[in-house]
Structure 1
């Protein structure tokens, strides 16, 4: 028979000592938690033991041990968690640990009236590092339900709390949401699903080949990891709540670059990696179109934090400039409205232009401003300008200092070069 927290504090010491026989501990487990006599210390200890077993089972691909951490009376939970286990088993997991946040333990009202004993909700911190793709462990939070067993353990009864999740968006990955298909190419980890996996080859080729193409222009400014993760999945839920963490608008973009924070609650720790999302709607396009899109996003990913705070016209124009380098001039398609929009441009575009209906045309205008800089001053000056404008530096001063031009002069010269190229 399960006993409540009051009884635990006076009768469970011997049980905990006996249960503390060494598990086959994973070297990546966090240090054991230490407590200071709080109301739920014993409960937290039991939760942590289960979570440590869960992490060890995932890293060692031990399905039987993993199932022992779950409420095996819940068939739906077992099915969904088997999918999660399979997903994690397919990933190149370098480190994985799970730790309960003792301060968030909350008993389920009325649960102690049943024959089984009291149930609890608690937030947990999940630490995961993809080997070769993350520079450090990525910490995310989740909320689990813990339920008692007849042998006086607390096991996971649910990993889903919809209300909590709606208040904590941007906290999931595709492997948390449903079955994924993992494919790899040199330097690339591809995350697909049953709808997109047939196009995996096209995406992986574009990313693998594109890495060297992009590095030839921008170098490896991020430099923290050797590989890149590319997502292409139908369920966009994992994009919810990523405002401020993406280069591009998650609701509109064909492609995105996502900065994955080492710890979303501690922004000062920076990004663990930069990952790419390829919208499934573009997978039916010719491989040249997919390749150009992927190279654009790779430019953002490989630059990483370099140039953060630079104006959109430069960061997006540079990415467009880099994306077309491997293509012959005849393949470098221009948006239909670009020449008309460019003819009326009186200054370099700002956020309002990129958010408007002619955004695609303004991308092209920005691209050709960068083309003009590279053709006239050299490609290295584009990166010099990016560095100079990082952090929100004064644009007029930087343009004058680096190029000897004003914004209106640069956009007019870029548009003139674009017009000459496409209208002869």
Structure 2
């Protein structure tokens, strides 16, 4: 399942069907940004006009910005060099709970093995309640965390944090909270795996798995399955795939863009691929620019995850950089197509019988390809029909053409007119024509 989408397996291939609710990730991101987080630079580069209105006149804004930059740089360097003392140096020592949490955060961050890590101030936020709590020097600021996990992220990516600082009598600035902005930060670019309790990170070539500390057996099992799934997607996806698979399987029900507190997600979902951003929502585009995806496993159902589940999700990971506009039948159909292919160490599925079942049970009753608007409401039929469409495209046109079609639709298919143009250019038929071709193939 891609973030904002669903993934189900079907009884015809003797795999449990799962219905997934739609995650309105883009709407949530827009709402979060609209709720007060404007992603522009701090007063140093914006002139400080917005801050000057409500900030204490005794505070030198430029000096504050420079001092906080020093704190952020020290924290990033401390993670890269393994210096816990420096990481905690600017944390309020009187808040023992905060210090303990920051110590856990440091330990978590160290396990990921960052090749690059920086923190950058974005926009100051305002909250009178917090000013009353921490005092007149309270500085609440959105922070961009730019990082690149060694041998995992192909390019540097970004996440969002919210820090609250106050000024010490000495004039330096200290961190008094890292959670005051949590509810206002964009969903999907926040609440990373390292922001939870103590974690265990295990690696293998092109694989990184995150579980709760002490769950070594689960980590080893997920690493083995991930290696198989990475190999399968690399082999089967047109043009190959050189990326990596990150699997997060924590007890927490909300991690990154995955929310397993939602009843249907909690019951039926196994895992979902959540976007990783090259640019944050609101920086360049409203939705942000995708770089990759990390897979988050449902803590209720992680015992049911297998290599095929991960192959489905890693197909979403492989296609995430293409863009957000591919039709849902193509997004989920492609992932299901790869998932159902023969895999080393996995029993082959009875795809011939499955195709016959899909044609007689679903295609015979359908009027068109599954639409984006109703895809999830009719998931029991949407997924089989989407798989059938991709099976037809791969068989008739070959993987290279399908891969090129996917890239162009994902990048440019924001309207039906554009989708029709791209489909006609590559296939000689629109989505309507493809549906008629599926009907004709079934009749033959």
| Contact 2:92/2:98 (<8 A) preserved | yes
Q: Does 1:398 align with 2:414?
A: no
TM-superposed CA distance for 1:399, in Å, is 5.8
Matched residues in 2 for 1:303 and 1:291: separation? 18
Q: Does 1:366 align with 2:382?
A: no
The match for 2:306 among 280, 284, 290 is 290
Q: 1:82 to 1:348 in 2, by over 3 A?
A: same
TM-score (norm 2): 0.71
Q: 1:211 to 1:102 in 2, by over 3 A?
A: closer
Q: How many residues align?
A: 368
Query: In terms of Rg, which structure is larger?
Result: 1
Matched residues in 2 for 1:370 and 1:55: separation? 45
Matched residues in 1 for 2:161 and 2:76: separation? 14
Number of the residue aligned with 2:251: 234
Number of the residue aligned with 1:262: 278
The match for 1:340 among 361, 376, 379 is 361
Q: 1:34 to 1:346 in 2, by over 3 A?
A: closer
Q: Does 1:51 align with 2:72?
A: yes
Matched residues in 1 for 2:109 and 2:314: separation? 25
Number of the residue aligned with 1:319: 335
| Contact 2:247/2:294 (<8 A) preserved | yes
Q: 1:43 to 1:377 in 2, by over 3 A?
A: closer
| Contact 2:233/2:241 (<8 A) preserved | no
| Contact 2:159/2:277 (<8 A) preserved | no
Q: 1:380 to 1:128 in 2, by over 3 A?
A: closer
Q: 1:155 to 1:172 in 2, by over 3 A?
A: same
TM-superposed CA distance for 1:260, in Å, is 1.1
Number of the residue aligned with 2:217: 198
1:141-180 Cα deviation digits (max 9, x unpaired): 322222344544221111110xx32222322212113222
Q: 1:307 to 1:65 in 2, by over 3 A?
A: closer
Number of the residue aligned with 2:10: none
Matched residues in 1 for 2:297 and 2:200: separation? 15
| Contact 2:204/2:223 (<8 A) preserved | yes
TM-superposed CA distance for 1:219, in Å, is 3.9
Q: Does 1:354 align with 2:375?
A: yes
Matched residues in 2 for 1:307 and 1:36: separation? 34
1:33-59 Cα deviation digits (max 9, x unpaired): 789797422333332222222222222
Matched residues in 2 for 1:318 and 1:385: separation? 12
Number of the residue aligned with 1:139: 158
Contiguous gaps of at least 5 residues in structure 1: 1-32, 243-248, 418-424
1:35-92 Cα deviation digits (max 9, x unpaired): 9797422333332222222222222111122222111111111111111011101111
| Contact 2:363/2:385 (<8 A) preserved | yes
Name the stretch that deviates more: 120-129 or 86-95. 120-129
Contiguous gaps of at least 5 residues in structure 2: 1-43, 53-59, 260-264
Q: 1:376 to 1:402 in 2, by over 3 A?
A: same
Q: 1:173 to 1:109 in 2, by over 3 A?
A: closer
TM-score (norm 1): 0.74
Name the stretch that deviates more: 120-129 or 166-175. 120-129
Number of the residue aligned with 1:420: none
| Contact 1:210/1:295 (<8 A) preserved | yes
Q: 1:103 to 1:222 in 2, by over 3 A?
A: farther
Q: 1:301 to 1:416 in 2, by over 3 A?
A: farther
| Contact 2:193/2:256 (<8 A) preserved | no
Matched residues in 1 for 2:80 and 2:104: separation? 15
TM-superposed CA distance for 1:283, in Å, is 2.6
SS in 2 for 1:348: coil
SS in 2 for 1:284: helix
